[in-house]
Amino acid sequence: MPLLKREMDMKQEEDTAAIREQPGQKTSFPGDVVFSLDTISTRTLFLGPGVRKEADNLIATRCGVLRYRPPATFFLDTSDDSYLPATGDDIVGVVVRRRGQEVLEQYYMVDFGKNTSRQTGVLPILAFKGATKRYRPNLKKGDLVYCRVRKTTVDGPVRLTCTSNNTKEQFWGPLRRTGALYRAKLSFVRRCLTEGSAEHSMIMEVGAKFPFESAVGLNGRIWLYTGFEKSQNLLYLLFRDAEEANGDVMLIKKITGRFLQETATLGDDFPVEDNTQYWVTRVA
Amino acid sequence: MDGSYVSIAERDTYLRFLKFGQREDKRTAFDYRDWQMVYGRDPGSCVVNLGNTTVISSVEVSPKRTNNPNQNKGTSKIDLSINPISFLKFQPSRNRLRTLRRQLRQHIKSAIFWSKCIDDESLCISRGRVVFQVHLSLDIIQADGNLFDATCLAAVASLLVAQRPEISVEGDKIVALSMYERTPIALQVNHIPISTTFSFQAASDLVIVDPSGKEEIVLNGNLTVVVNQNSEICGTYKRGVAALPMETIQRCVEIAALRSKDAALRLRQLSEDYISSRTKNLNLDIMVNLRRSKSEATGIIDESRQSVADRAAQLGLMQPVMPEHGVIISTTKETPKTGRPTEMVEEDEDDEEMEDDDGEELGGSESEEETTTLTAGDF
């Protein structure tokens, strides 16, 4: 088994090298051949939005730049700013109301629309890690929740969940009300989540020296929490500046350095008060 | 369809900035966003940018019939198009949008027409028969806070360069001459009202100027002060629940007066530049248009129009109209009302009194019938 695994790894490395050789940073238009699959051996592809497979070629279905993530994930990065939910997306949503009669059938309506439009999904009341009929989060209107898109259908509502089959990665759940929320462009959010990008390295660099909590939703909402008012404002402005920098590596490095200087000389900071208990025990 | 949802965390985020004297977009409390204004090709049209808020405005001054025998002033009409889609950050609910539309219309009326910004007595052509109507149409393309200032600025900017056609009166015949026959006349603008909006938070001494779209959803009090370039208050408009002490209002008026001087000067400069550049290009424009109209006159379209008019004249439907002339507004004499029953006359008078109280007349759709039949040629 280990030998096989090593072989697979080697194969992947070869593939990765082959893919990296192909020009990918070019803007392609609908109908363009963005990538030819002749050079790679794996036939299991993960195709994201904007890419379609035809024979041995990947063809663009809209304008954008091809992005690749090992082992074999392809998608077309666009500056399109309207969010369409897809299965597996991590999003930050707002609780709108609670619906349903029986406890087991109750669910939260969660709004995850981009800036202006309303898009609501359904989050079952027990779809949290460790939630039972008695012990479960009690969310109010206006609370933020970090959740995952479980299923999207043509007619029905978008189904959301805060659980996963993988026990190691269970970080979804209600977010603190005292945190800050930043609304960003979708392209910025995608860059934040892509390893190797300037924005991602900025978050890592800041996080190493200045601990903070964040939840980056693919629907363009970024939740930030440091526990202190002034530093939270600064963090908000950092993300705002980084978005305005528009992928400029040097500028983002400059912004990061300035932010770290400012936080070092911050002086007295006021802790944000948060006495709310999101998880409550209910005696039936 | 209905307004977008705002989370508690997001509201607190914007308030937390204001608490420390900062703002979400890195301005200080009394920092006004930069605005730009560009005039369009047609006289009286302009685009105003205030941050991300964009308003397109245009003015058309045209003669209209009036039924009010005591009408001795020009009338005004405001078209305001505002869409939920144009809101960049937070979409308002349907009720909120309706309220906003009403408030904006009221604000423009009071800031511009009630403060006598344009000399409406000079817009009377024939008392009780024909007056000029100032038709102001405002399109809100993008909304990112402070629509009140942006719309007011756009309206004033377009009124500064608006033109009305020259009128010739021969007995009972009133003809609006086209721009090729006689150069149009600019409107008389008495003063330049500039509005400045302040936002407040109830039960706190927080005051900011020029709220952005994000701040507008958080703060619950607004005061719009309209001051002209001579530091005269032309109107105020307060909305929201925050109660204000007298000192705050006085301070707001002082700040608005300071701002209005600069803004009025800049607006005047921009309008003068536009007018001077336009008069240079005007002769060329007229040459091009005249050539075009001549070629049209020799073409088939114009001949057919002529023949239709002749046929109509033969049938006694309408009088033949020379295409060289502009629009003939009124050719018939005032019909004596003696033949009509007395009750009808009384009803008419009641209506006119109502209009007098209002001070405004919106449109004259009932009186347009005869005008439309007599219309010939383009303006």
Domain architecture of chain B: domains with CATH: 8-289 (3.30.230.70), 299-374 (no CATH)
- The alpha carbon of residue A233 is apart from the nearest alpha carbon of chain B, in Å, by 7
| Separation of alpha carbons B67 and B76, rounded Å | 15
Radius of gyration of chain A (CA): 21
* Mean of the per-residue pLDDT values of chain A: 85
Confidence band, pLDDT 50/70/90 cuts, at residue B293: low
Instruction: Tell me which residue in B1, B7, B20 faces A181 most closely, judged by beta carbons.
Output: B7
**CA A250 to each of CA A190, A255, B64: distance values in angstroms, whole numbers, following the listed order:** 19, 9, 63
Measured between alpha carbons, how far is B223 from B199 in angstroms, rounded to an integer?
Answer: 6
pLDDT digits (tens, 9 = 90+) for B225-275: 999 999 999 999 998 887 888 999 999 999 999 999 999 999 999 999 998
pLDDT digits (tens, 9 = 90+) for A251-271: 999 999 999 999 988 888 888
Omega before B165 within 30 of 0, i.e. cis: no
pLDDT score of B225: 95
Is the confidence at residue B25, as pLDDT, over 80?
Answer: yes
pLDDT score recorded for residue B370: 36
Neighbours of B298 (CB within 10 A): 8
pLDDT, residue B320, reads: 41
**Kind plus residue range of the DSSP H or E element containing A190:** helix A186-193
List the beta bridge partners of residue B239: B222
Position A36 pLDDT exceeds 70: yes
Closest CA to B32 of B48, B46, B51: B51
pLDDT: which is higher, A2 or A171: A171
Per-residue pLDDT at B170: 84
Mean pLDDT, residues B83-105 taken together: 89
Query: B198 vs A10, which has greater pLDDT?
Result: B198
Distance CA A194, CA A197 (A): 6
The answer on pLDDT for B305 being more than 50 is no
Mapped onto helix, strand or coil, the DSSP state of residue A171 is coil
Q: Which of B1, B20, B87 sits opposite A233 (nearest CB)?
A: B20
The residue with greater pLDDT, A30 or A10, is A30
Contact B214, B24 (CB under 8 A): yes
What is the mean pLDDT of the segment spanning A15-27? 62
Least confident of A9-13, A96-100, B294-298, B347-351: B347-351
Please indicate whether residue B62 or residue A19 has the higher confidence score (pLDDT): B62
Residue B275 burial (10 A CB sphere; 0-12, 13-18, 19+): middle
Go through the domains of chain A in sequence order and give each one's CATH number. 11-77 (2.40.50.100), 90-175 (2.40.50.140), 181-264 (3.30.1370.10)
Q: Is the pLDDT of residue B219 over 60?
A: yes
Distance in angstroms (rounded) separating the CA atoms of residues B227 and B234: 5
Cross-chain residue pair B20–A144, CB shorter than 8 Å? no
The structure tokens 């003939």 sit at: B328
- Residue B373 predicted with pLDDT over 60: no
State residue A16's pLDDT score: 64
Res B124 pLDDT > 80: yes
Q: Please state, as a whole number, how many other Cβ atoms lie within 10 Å of the Cβ of residue A278.
A: 18
Q: How confident is the model at residue B84 (pLDDT cuts 50, 70, 90)?
A: confident
The Cα of B147 is separated from the nearest Cα of chain A by a number of Å equal to 17
Rounded Cα distance between B150 and B134, Å, is 19
CB contact under 8 A, B91 and A116: yes
Phi and psi of B227, rounded to 5°?
-130, 140
Q: Contacts of residue A230 in chain B, CB cutoff 8 Å?
A: 20
Question: What ipTM did this prediction achieve?
Answer: 0.83
Distance from CA of B21 to the nearest CA of A (A): 11
> Is pLDDT above 80 for B162?
yes
Average confidence (pLDDT) over B359-363: 41
% of chain A exceeding 90 in pLDDT: 40
CB spacing of A111 vs B5 below 8 angstroms: yes
| Whole-angstrom distance, CA of residue B166 vs CA of residue B178 | 8
Q: What percent of chain B has pLDDT over 90?
A: 44
Is B9–A116 a contact, with Cβ atoms under 8 angstroms apart? no
| Contact residues, chain B, for A227 at CB < 8 Å | none
- Alpha helices (H) in chain B, listed in sequence order: 8-19, 94-108, 147-161, 213-218, 246-298, 300-315, 342-358, 369-374
The mean of the pLDDT values for chain B is 78
Nearest CA in chain B to A96: B5
Mean pLDDT of B154-170: 92
Of A121-125, B102-106, B374-378, the range with the lowest mean pLDDT is: B374-378
Tokens 């439009």 — which residue? A117
Render A86-132 in DSSP notation, one character per residue. Answer: -TT-EEEEEEEEEE-SSGGG-EEEEE---SS---EEEEETT-STT--
Handedness of CA A75, A80, A85, A89 (dihedral sign): positive
**Backbone phi and psi for residue A167, each to the nearest 5 degrees, phi listed first:** -70, -20
- Structural tokens at position A123: 């989050």
Q: What's the average model confidence in pLDDT over A168-174?
A: 83
Q: What is the pLDDT of residues A77-134, one digit of tens each?
A: 888 788 888 888 899 999 999 998 887 889 999 999 876 667 899 999 999 988 888 8
Which of B47, B73, B48, B42 lies closest to B60 in space, CA to CA? B42
Kindly tell me if the per-residue pLDDT of B103 is higher than 70.
Answer: yes
What CA dihedral angle connects A6, A9, A13 and A16, to 10 degrees? Answer: 170
Going by the DSSP 8-state scheme, the letter that residue B179 receives in this structure is T
Number of helices and strands in chain A (H, E): 5, 18
pLDDT score at A9: 66
User: Percent of chain B beyond pLDDT 70?
Assistant: 73
pLDDT of B354 over the 70 cut: no
